């Protein structure tokens, strides 16, 4: 393992890095740097990727939002490689396959270097899979493939640097979270205000409603065919946002006291969404990969749906491949989107929701165990922080027993709720998809808390130490 870390450090040493600011930046400066990173990201999301074929069907249209990717642009892979690399390393660390202590500066730097190296490796793998699968067109020459790969590698590294820029104190929060939030918000705004033509008028529901009202048919905006934005889906989107905001505040509070500072007491909150959005992200990523590879296998080995064995995996209509599978296992684990499709395929809807909930619960349990969130790991962390539960012995077994009454149950309930909300929202066609709404609301709430802390520090600098800032 030491040789691997040495190799990682050597490779990463040639990469440029974003230095930490020499002094603490004030809120206005942080907002400027954060906005700069966001504008650059949005610009890359609109810049065409040179060398790809035009008019290629998007095989991953419904899964792009969680990776903030945009077809045919420099952000074709979005933040997928860096998120995948980060998750892999976090899982390896949680399982103690790699042993690093983030309290040590050198170990933290080594983890950051490993993330960069693995991000580029994942970029190469994903870009190669896209080329083989025909996402960039067929019959690419070697020269064109190299040009495409170079662009994606350069873009991927720029994303890593922008994330570092925001996280190291120049900006606010996390660059990855910022890009996801912006991507979801952009899609919601697009569904609301786009004036591009659609099958029955404007794409956006607001200009469509204005036009429908002017022509004397405002009721047509309530429901629209073809999965187009409507007043009904707009209402469902706001309802989903309100539900998520409310559930974010549901928690169980375990009382704690300090053994180091007499008289100090507080609570250790165990939120209903204890596992955050990780189960939904992993489930969405799993479905995205299953969709991509099933289409790849079908196009290469079963384009006529003639192989009975491969038909069990998925079958497609050659004229409407991007509309999804029309049979096989994959058909029953992907959603029929919109009320029309839901009414026509209720069995498929039920199987999709059931699959989504089960996989979310599985991923939630796995993440708690290997992510250092299980009762044993949490009890050790509390005791290491000189904290105990009043009325119980200051022993790891005692605290673990108390937390063990709540964390496993909360993990299942929270993961199931995430699965129900995300899958149901997908079925009903909310703006930004169910997963996107979950991520956007969670990230927005985190940013709100960070901005309030930054503002409070600006007004009362003496509180910086209490808020854990330098």
H-helix or E-strand spanning residue 388: strand 387-388
Query: Which pLDDT tens digit goes with each residue over 418-436?
Result: 999 999 988 888 888 888 8
Residues sharing a CB contact under 8 Å with residue 41, sequence separation 6 or more, in sequence order = 68, 75, 159, 162, 175, 178, 179, 182
Query: Which pLDDT tens digit goes with each residue over 119-171?
Result: 888 889 888 877 876 677 667 788 888 998 999 999 988 988 898 888 888 88
Q: Of 133, 152, 172, which residue constitutes the final position of a domain? A: 172
Regarding whether 34 and 167 lie in a shared domain, the answer is yes
Nearest C-alpha neighbor of 159 from the set 74, 12, 41, 64: 41
Contact 199, 224 (CB under 8 A): no
Q: Of 150, 172, 194, which residue constitutes the final position of a domain? A: 172
Rounded to the nearest angstrom, the gap between the alpha carbon of residue 81 and the centroid of all alpha carbons in its chain is 12
Regarding whether 266 and 160 lie in a shared domain, the answer is no
Tell me the two tokens of residue 306.
Answer: 């003639």
Q: For residue 466, what pLDDT band results from cuts at 50, 70 and 90? A: very low
Q: Is the pLDDT of residue 413 over 90?
A: yes
Regarding whether 251 and 399 lie in a shared domain, the answer is yes
Q: Which domain CATH number covers 450?
A: 1.10.3370.10
CA distance 302 to 238: 42
Q: Which pLDDT score is estimated for 356?
A: 93
Regarding whether 139 and 250 lie in a shared domain, the answer is no
Number of domains forming the structure of the chain: 2
Contact 413, 279 (CB under 8 A): no
Query: Which pLDDT tens digit goes with each residue over 26-62?
Result: 888 888 999 999 999 989 988 988 887 666 666 666 6
Q: Is the pLDDT of residue 448 over 60?
A: yes
Q: Give residue 137's domain range.
A: 27-172
Q: Is the pLDDT of residue 386 over 70?
A: yes
Q: For residue 67, what pLDDT band results from cuts at 50, 70 and 90? A: confident
Mean pLDDT (whole number) for 59-85: 79
Mean pLDDT of the chain: 82
Query: Which pLDDT tens digit goes with each residue over 319-332?
Result: 766 667 888 999 99
CA distance 117 to 121: 6
Q: Which pLDDT score is estimated for 182?
A: 86
Q: For residue 1, what pLDDT band results from cuts at 50, 70 and 90? A: low
């Amino acid at each position: 393992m030491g040789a691997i870390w040495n190799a990682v450090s050597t490779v990463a040493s040639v990469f440029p890095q974003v230095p930490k600011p020499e002094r603490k930046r004030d809120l206005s400066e942080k907002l400027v740097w954060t906005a700069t990173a966001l504008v650059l990201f949005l610009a890359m999301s609109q810049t065409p990727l040179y060398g790809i074929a035009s008019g290629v069907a998007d095989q991953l249209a419904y899964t792009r939002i969680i990776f903030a990717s945009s077809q045919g642009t420099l952000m074709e892979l979005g933040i997928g490689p860096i998120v995948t690399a980060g998750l892999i390393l976090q899982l390896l660390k949680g399982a103690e396959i790699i042993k690093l202590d983030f309290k040590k500066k050198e170990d933290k730097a080594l983890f950051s270097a490993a993330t960069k190296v693995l991000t580029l490796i994942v970029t190469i793998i994903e870009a190669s899979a896209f080329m083989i699968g025909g996402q960039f067109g067929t019959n690419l020459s070697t020269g064109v493939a190299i040009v495409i790969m170079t662009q994606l590698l350069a873009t991927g590294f720029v994303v890593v640097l922008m994330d570092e820029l925001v996280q190291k104190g120049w900006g606010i929060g996390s660059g990855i979270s910022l890009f996801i939030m912006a991507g979801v918000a952009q899609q919601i705004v697009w569904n609301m205000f786009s004036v591009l033509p659609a099958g029955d008028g404007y794409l956006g529901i607001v200009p469509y409603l204005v036009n429908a009202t002017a022509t004397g048919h405002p009721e047509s905006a309530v429901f629209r065919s073809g999965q187009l934005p409507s007043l009904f889906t707009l209402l469902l989107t706001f309802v989903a946002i309100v539900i998520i905001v409310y559930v974010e505040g549901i928690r169980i509070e375990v009382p704690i006291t300090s053994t180091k500072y007499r008289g100090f007491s507080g609570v250790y909150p165990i939120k209903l969404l204890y596992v955050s959005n990780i189960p939904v992200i992993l489930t969405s990523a799993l479905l995205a990969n299953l969709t991509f590879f099933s289409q790849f296998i079908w196009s290469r080995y079963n384009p006529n749906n003639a192989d009975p064995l491969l038909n069990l995996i998925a079958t497609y209509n050659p004229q409407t491949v991007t509309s999804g599978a029309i049979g096989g296992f994959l058909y029953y684990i992907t959603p029929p989107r919109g009320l029309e499709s839901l009414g026509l395929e209720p069995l498929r809807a039920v199987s999709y929701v059931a699959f989504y909930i089960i996989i979310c619960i599985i991923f939630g349990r796995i993440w708690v165990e290997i992510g250092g969130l299980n009762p044993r790991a949490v009890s050790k962390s509390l005791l290491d922080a000189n904290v105990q539960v009043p009325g119980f012995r200051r022993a790891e077994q005692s605290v673990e027993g108390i937390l063990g009454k709540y964390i496993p149950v909360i993990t299942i309930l929270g993961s199931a709720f995430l699965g129900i909300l995300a899958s149901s929202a997908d079925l009903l066609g909310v703006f930004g998809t169910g997963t996107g709404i979950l991520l956007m609301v969670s990230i927005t709430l985190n940013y709100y808390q960070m901005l309030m802390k930054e503002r409070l520090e600006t007004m009362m600098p003496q509180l910086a130490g209490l808020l854990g800032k330098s």
